[in-house]
Structure 1
Amino acid sequence: MRHAPTFATSAIALSALAALLTPTPASAAATAPGETVTLSVREALQALPVKEESRAGYERSKFRHWIDADRDGCNTRAEVLFQEAVTAPAVGPRCVLTGGNWYSSYDNQFFDSARKLDVDHLVPLAEAWDSGASLWTAKEREAYANDLDDPRALIAVSAASNRSKADQDPSTWMPPSAGYACRYATDWVADKIRYQLAVDPAESAALTDMVNRCPNEPVTVTFAR
């Protein structure tokens, strides 16, 4: 007999989630970078603060990317393309990728050239700024823009789907592949939990509608800050 999944959190993780619900300078200290929490996507969504967002002061240049963190000659974009390849490409001088094969989950298509792909910030940089990153340091924004530690943060997708999405949240854009909707919503919520970002009312409503289709989907998140 199949049992419904159960979810457990540590004391620190519970404290962190409480801080998310009522974020203040004092309660924010309760979060612990590196602490991991597992809960259902519905619980994760409920932990996100809902508030109006502002894009005042946003500039894409405030999120430095793509960097070569390990100094191996390949920047973050190339690292994602290499990691997500269905068939590994050859890596040439200056980390030029040739050959290889990729699957774009946004539109359920395969591609045979890295040039046909973009590396998407699942939660766009502008959206992150709107929902909390405007208060971060430049180093924190750089870490967000180049996050290779959580495979949900950066994703290789078709250039067409990424440019259609631009900086929109799930209230105004969803991947064309309907079968990917639940995964997209779940990963979006996980990314926002990871970075303690808020959701606006329209975004919250859209996500609630989507996660109601998969409310017990487990979400495991390691806090980044």
Structure 2
Amino acid sequence: MAAPEKKNGRERMLDRRKKIREAIRQAAIDEFAQKGLAGASTQSIAQRAGLTKPQLHYYISSKEELYEEVLVHINDLWRDIFIASSGDTKDPAKVIRDYVRNKLEFGRRHPNASRVFSNEVAAGGHYLQKHWHSARESTQVAAEIIQSWVDKKLIKPVDPWLFQMHIWAVTQHYADYEAQIRFMLQLKDGEEIDMDHVVDEVSTLFLRACGLK
């Protein structure tokens, strides 16, 4: 078996910069989720990323620029999880179940990213407006798929745009309001939410709305 090729100096430097950029982005997500844009500081973001403030500003020019970069990254992640991403769109029940599961799983794995996005939208979406077009295009594709199900009488009539928004609202709740959910379900510290049960309940809710089992 051939030995793996060693990376040259430039490749190692690029890898190091990539890791630092990823650390900065995650630190920014955590900071913005906790404090919002107004309350966040580049000093705190640098500390979270294991950098000094001057080191951080080597990679970014301002807090606002970093905030917008984070939002674009999150928006791209959301865009990749849309109703047509399940593959075979001829089976509405499977597509809806997979979509619900993917949305809930994203919120479970990236709760702070979800909260940063929600907080920005709640504040009017000023920093997101010029980046939303691609996400709307994905939603348009999904709406056309849902409408095709209605036209073929595979599901009961639903508004294809509102149907997606209702799924967003329910699935997003489990990331953005985790503290409330844990209190209502009387979960102990460290006790996990039964996400398989949540997926079953949420999927059933939307499948019934479509007249599906």
Q: What is the TM-score when the length of structure 2 is the normalising length? A: 0.30
Length-normalised TM-score, structure 1: 0.29
Which of structures 1 and 2 has the bigger CA Rg?
Answer: 2
Q: Which structure has the highest helix share of the two?
A: 2
